Chains A and B, each alone.
Chain A
Amino acid sequence: MWEALQLEFMRNALAAGILVSVVCGVIGTLVVVNRIVFLAGGIAHAAYGGIGLALFMGWPYVAGTTGFSLLAAGVMAAVTLKAKHRADAMVGVIWAVGMAAGIILLDLTPGYHVDLMSYLFGSILAVPLADLWQMGAIGAIVIFVVAWYYNDFLAMSYDDEFARLRNIPVTFLYCLLLGMIALTVVMIIRVVGLILVIALLTIPPFIAEKFTGSLRGMMLLSSALSCAFTLTGLWLSYLWNLTAGATIILVAAAGFCAAVLWGRLRSMRSPDQITGTGNSQ
């Protein structure tokens, strides 16, 4: 392990993994409790269109993808707020069109063809230092915004009608959340890839929800779990020479299965305590 840390790319990979984990723990928690996993998936896949556009136009990756993802998030916010009952179908359309547009734009890009795999599974071992700074900045913004509006996000996620009644700017917060999802997605795609964005946004919060009594605790535990999965995955991938992104996800999947089994066992032992965990702080 120590010899691996001598390598700069490995140190960068570790830093990227930790940054992604913390942000995913925070945003993933809000995604899971607001039940907008499908929407997050839509934004992630639409972001693929941004990757295609950035390469086709010769723009830098982050600028192109961020812009496109924010646009997709804005459209989805408008659609889900205006036509709630058909929102899922519209998200599906944007999901597919964004992805297809990305592939066509890549086809049309002259010169060399980018390895699609690197955007599907990510390339955590090839994160340059400059990207780390960008990721750090995005992470800092996301955490600051969530901390600033923590109680408002809590009220909106638990009972949006009551939050509206207290004059909490629910619509603004919802758009803000989708925007932060877009930023996070752009950041994670680079590291664990498109397919696995959803996994990191959902698996750790899903596990954490069962073991915490507050939204804050759920964010902290998700981040910790995400870190554990990412670092274990990285280590195993180095040990056995496997693709890093895919290994991380399999580790997370193993953690997920273990948590589900643990939950089952526990509820078998005390059948009257299925919903609560008693772990309130």
Chain B
Amino acid sequence: MIETIIDVSGVWFSFNGQPILKDVDLKVPRGDFLVVIGPNGGGKTTLLKLMLGLLEPTRGTVRVFGQPPQKAAHRIGYVPQNVHINKTFPVSVLDVVLMGRLRSGRGWSSHSLQDRSAAQAVMEQLGVWAHRNRRIGELSGGELHRVFIARALVSAPEVLFLDEAMASIDAQSRSEFYEALTELNRTVTIVAVSHDMMILSSHVKSVACVNRDLHYHDSGEITQEMLDAAYRCPVDLVAHGVPHRVLCRHEDR
């Protein structure tokens, strides 16, 4: 049996009394490439932040590698939605990537040789090593995005979270990026949040739709009944993978 590495069970989350997520259950097995889709404001990013431990659920539990997410922090990589924060900040590209190697409570913090060679390896892989001494604000959106992916990967995480990863990538680089993610997925579990339906390429292994509540689609379980059900409500997308997948907007059960 494949190990479940992320276990969200019975999670409710409200903000200022407004329910954002209702009774969400989600199990992510090791090696999965899960895409979380849903309308804006439907709770995708909230779900991601709950899995990262940046938010605490109002009710229910979130476990990553069987532990509270904060305890598993060193096994998690995260690429945030907004890569354009703090663009005037005086920090070099290399120093931003090295932040991914920080550990808590180390003090007298200088980065070890190991940290630096890990940073070099991942930056070369992503083609941003040449920019290492540039100031972060000088990079273009696409370059910044790759730097943030490098920051997430430099700690060799077992699971990688991507929030709206497509937002700052131009259309041409996308297929290249999918290829890179697929390659990465051989060793790393990937959870990507996106309102961009294009991410549902054939490389994606499962899909979760979040709009207050959550529906999980394992690609292996798509049946004629599901397709029939899907066509009865407004169709959100047809993904051309193998097999073809049709997902519907889920009205309240």
Interface size class of A (residues with CB under 8 A): 20 to 34
Interface contact A162-B80, CB-CB below 8 Å = yes
Instruction: State whether the Cβ of A264 lies closer than 8 Å to any Cβ in chain B.
Output: no
Residue A226, interface by CB 8 Å: no
A15 contacts partner chain B, Cβ-Cβ < 8 Å: no
A240 within 8 A of B: no
B25 neighbours in A (Cβ, 8 Å): none
Chain A window 155-192, contacts with chain B (Cβ cutoff 8 Å), 1 for yes, 0 for no: 10111011111111100000000000000000000000
Cβ contact within 8 Å between A165 and B87: no
- Chain B residues near A149: list those with CB within 8 A: 107, 109
* Minimum distance in angstroms from A280 CB to a CB of chain B: 5
Shortest distance from the beta carbon of B212 to any chain A beta carbon, whole Å: 24
The yes or no answer to B135 lying at the interface (CB within 8 A) is: yes
Judge whether B15 is part of the interface by a CB distance below 8 angstroms: no
Interface mask (B63-104 → A, CB under 8 Å = 1, otherwise 0):
000000010011010101000011111111001101110111
- Assess whether B151 is interfacial by the CB under 8 Å rule: yes
Contact residues in A for B103 (Cβ distance below 8 Å): 166-167
Within 8 A of B (CB), among A183-216: 209, 212-215
Contact between B99 and A166, CB atoms less than 8 A apart: yes
Closest to A275 in B: B137
Residue in B88, B102, B133, B137 whose CB lies within 8 Å of A166:
B102
Asked if residues B89 and A157 are in contact (CB atoms below 8 Å), the reply is: yes
Residues of chain A within 8 A (CB-CB) of B222 are none
> Given the complex, which residues of B lie within 8 Å of A99, measured CB to CB?
none
A105 CA to B111 CA in the complex, in Å? 50
**Contact between B110 and A151, CB atoms less than 8 A apart:** yes
Contact, CB under 8 Å: A166 / B110: no
Asked whether A148 is an interface residue with its Cβ less than 8 Å from the other chain, the reply is yes
- Name the one of B52, B90, B99, B135 contacting A163, with C-beta atoms under 8 angstroms: B99
User: What is the CA–CA distance of A213 and B103 in the complex, to the nearest angstrom?
Assistant: 24
Which single member of A151, A155, A164, A209 contacts B54 (CB below 8 Å)?
A: A164
Contact across chains for A214 and B138 when beta carbons are under 8 A apart: no
- B108 proximity list for chain A (CB < 8 A): 147-148
Query: Quick check: is B17 within 8 A (CB to CB) of the other chain?
Result: no
Q: Are B99 and A280 in contact (CB under 8 A)?
A: no
Measured CA separation A230–B144 after assembly (Å): 39
Interface of A is mostly: helix
Tier of interface size on chain B: 35 or more
**Nearest Cβ in chain A — how far from B121, in angstroms?**
19
Check: A88 CB closer than 8 A to any chain B CB: no
Interface residue? B243 (CB, 8 A)? no
Which residues of A lie under 8 Å from residue B91 when comparing CB positions? 154, 158, 213-215
Complex partner residue of B95 from A152, A167, A214, A278, CB under 8 angstroms: A214
B102 and A280 contacting across the interface, CB-CB below 8 Å: no
Q: Is A277 a contact of B135 with CB atoms below 8 Å?
A: yes
- B contact residues around A92 at 8 Å (CB): none
> B92 contacts which of A151, A155, A209, A280 (Cβ < 8 Å)?
A280
CA–CA, A167 to B96, complex, Å? Answer: 16
- A277 vs B89: C-alpha distance in the bound complex, in angstroms? 11
Instruction: Decide if B134 is an interface residue (CB 8 Å cutoff).
Output: yes
Q: Is the CB of B89 within 8 A of A276?
A: no
29 A-B residue pairings within 8 Å (CB atoms): A148-B108, A151-B98, A151-B102, A151-B109, A151-B111, A152-B102, A154-B95, A154-B99, A155-B99, A155-B102, A158-B86, A159-B85, A161-B54, A162-B78, A162-B99, A165-B53, A166-B104, A167-B74, A168-B102, A212-B90, A213-B133, A213-B135, A214-B90, A214-B91, A217-B90, A275-B87, A276-B134, A276-B137, A278-B138
Identify the B interface with A (CB < 8 A).
52-54, 70, 73-74, 76, 78, 80, 85-92, 95-96, 98-100, 102-105, 107-111, 133-135, 137-138, 151
Apart from A213-B133, A276-B134, list 13 A-B contacts with CB within 8 A.
A33-B90, A151-B110, A152-B109, A155-B102, A158-B89, A163-B99, A165-B52, A166-B103, A167-B104, A214-B90, A276-B135, A278-B138, A280-B135
